[in-house]
Amino acid sequence: IKVDTQWGKNVLGLCGNYNHFKEDDIQLYDVRNNDDTLLAFIDLWRTNDECQSTKSSVNTCDGGRRRWAKTSCDILLGPTFATCHQKVHVKSYYEACVMDSCKCDLGGDCECLCTAISTYAQMCNNFGVPVNWRSQELCPIQCPRNTEYMPCISPCPLTTCETIRRNVTFNCDEEVFCTEGCRPKALPQGMIYTDASYEKYVYNNDCEQKPCKEGSINLKEISKGRCLFCTCTSGERNCVPIPLPCDNETK
């Protein structure tokens, strides 16, 4: 759930009141470390009375799992994220990482661990301190063909010839400095990808909107002739053969 800044201090619920202080999120209950109290707070926000009350879960965080969780989350405290520590306090993120990784039994241990680490990494991105923390051994990301993983890329989709010809505009999130993801490989200066497949690229000047032409006549509508079915798409005339009955008509 993402809430616009205009709602700061004006919301309530399981996600808190959005005043950037987690200490007062559970306003109606003073004892925050008591499981029964937390469960009562959660049940307070049930919207359907027919739903069963929340039950306390079994603590699966035994000694062995806790040691694994702490060792795995230690990357947050080490040199990998050192450049970010002065911008974003790491303590609460480390504690959450240990807790989530230790108790997680849904989707695999690594999924919870990777989510916890990436949460802190995104906060670092928001403060202009991207960290390249992933590896083949820790939370690897396999990118599609013709793209490569980067810890910090623009949240805006890449401009291509296709978006230029279709006059596509993107409503990008200005609050997000960058986010991790898969980025098309860099092109030589003055070149641009033709479309979102990122397989072909041309010079920037070749991306200008060009109407289809038949001689000196601009073709905007579908045309048919000589046993061909032609369309004008993104400034290019594309034709496909019409099935055999057409051959009989032209004889």
Provide the pLDDT for residue 52. Answer: 75
Query: Distance between CA atoms of 113 and 10, rounded to whole angstroms?
Result: 32
Confidence of residue 103 (pLDDT cuts 50, 70, 90): confident
Total Cβ atoms within 10 A of residue 184? 19
Residue 190 CA to residue 188 CA, distance in Å, equals 6
Q: How confident is the model at residue 250 (pLDDT cuts 50, 70, 90)?
A: very low
Give me the mean pLDDT over the 96-109 stretch: 76
Provide the sign of the torsion angle of the four alpha carbons 25, 27, 28, 33, taken in this order. Answer: positive
Between CA 207 and CA 161 the distance in angstroms is: 5
